[in-house]
Amino acid sequence: MQYFVQQMVNGLTLGSIYGLIAIGYTMVYGIIGMINFAHGDIFMLGAFVALIVFLILTSIFVSVNVVLFLLVMMVVAMLMTSLYNWTIEKVAYRPLRGSFRLAPLITAIGMSIALSNFVQVTQGPRNKPIPPMVSTVYNVGGISISLKQIIIVVVTVALLALFWYLVNKTSLGRAQRACEQDRKMAALLGIDVDRTISITFIMGAALAAVAGTLFLMYYGVVAFSDGFVPGVKAFTAAVLGGIGSLPGAMLGGLMIGFIESMWSAYFSIDYKDVAAFSILAIVLIFLPSGILGRPEVEKV
């Protein structure tokens, strides 16, 4: 039983990271109906920015509070990735917004490859490790819970609550929901659609940067290729939970994390990805719109 609970804790931690990335996918899709396949590489870029900030801080300061370290790393990573995502949306996606649906998809894949190669060229192809930032581990009834895991879960819950409030209780959220329902009508009502979409890309990038910083803190290593697999799994989580739904994205992320953790614990770790995607296929057979998703209404 202790082993089972331990794997649940590990799955909760991993699922929280997937959920943060998945929210970025679901927010962009909810407004413009597009899958930003460069989002996984934005997550990877956030991890590298956090790494560079960590190296700069440790070279200047001998001893600094870990919380302050993490806060500075997150803020700088959020600023840099938001700038990148805003530029991508303005340069690569906005000109193709009115074109046939395949063009933005191909462009998103191209931006993903470009970002990955950019980081590979500038930072090198090897894994980039850092010393452990947080090493405290608590033993609760035979269950090992590290301070890193607690930080990840607390940050995830706080950000999910903040973004739920922004989307449901603010004027920006009303504008986003209006653009989601009908962009042309929203523009006629005075909503700046381009500005709303750009802010949505920025918000998604900020969450991906936080996820990248937490990923770096948890695993202590990052590579230029780390954007692809977590990005695909986060996209899977968004679809599983119901793409377009913020709680659905987080629920899907937690489900993927639990599935991977349990499968690795009781079966072969080599097939944990197969298990996650198999569950996705099964759910979509019976719930095509995902667990918390709403069926898409065709506008005529």
Instruction: List pLDDT tens digits, range 89-129.
Output: 998 888 888 777 788 888 988 999 999 999 999 988 889 98
Judged by DSSP in three states, 140 sits in strand
Distances in Å between the alpha carbon of 12 and those of 157, 233, 243, 244? 11, 15, 20, 22
R_g (Cα) of the chain, nearest Å: 19
Give the start-to-end residue ranges of the domains of the chain. 15-224
The pairs formed by 170-173 with CB atoms below 8 angstroms and a separation of 24 or more are 172/196, 172/199
In the block, tokens 């739904």 appear at: 245
**Cα(93)–Cα(96) distance, integer angstroms:** 5
Please choose, from the candidates 39, 104, 4, 82, the residue with its C-alpha nearest in 3D space to the C-alpha of residue 243: 39
Check residue 241 and give its pLDDT: 86
Mean pLDDT of the chain: 87
Residue 297's pLDDT band, with cuts at 50, 70 and 90, is low
Check whether 45 has a pLDDT greater than 90: yes
- For residue range 61-86, list pLDDT tens digits in order: 877 777 888 899 999 999 999 999 99
pLDDT digits (tens, 9 = 90+) for 187-244: 988 899 999 999 999 999 999 999 999 999 999 899 998 888 888 888 888 888 887 7
What are the backbone dihedrals phi and psi of residue 216, each rounded to the nearest 5 degrees, phi first?
-65, -45
**pTM for the model:** 0.90
Q: What are phi and psi of 221, to 5 degrees?
A: -155, 150
The number of C-alpha atoms within 13 Å of 196 and in the hemisphere containing its C-beta is: 26
Q: Which residues lie closer than 8 Å to 190 by C-beta, 6 or more apart?
A: none
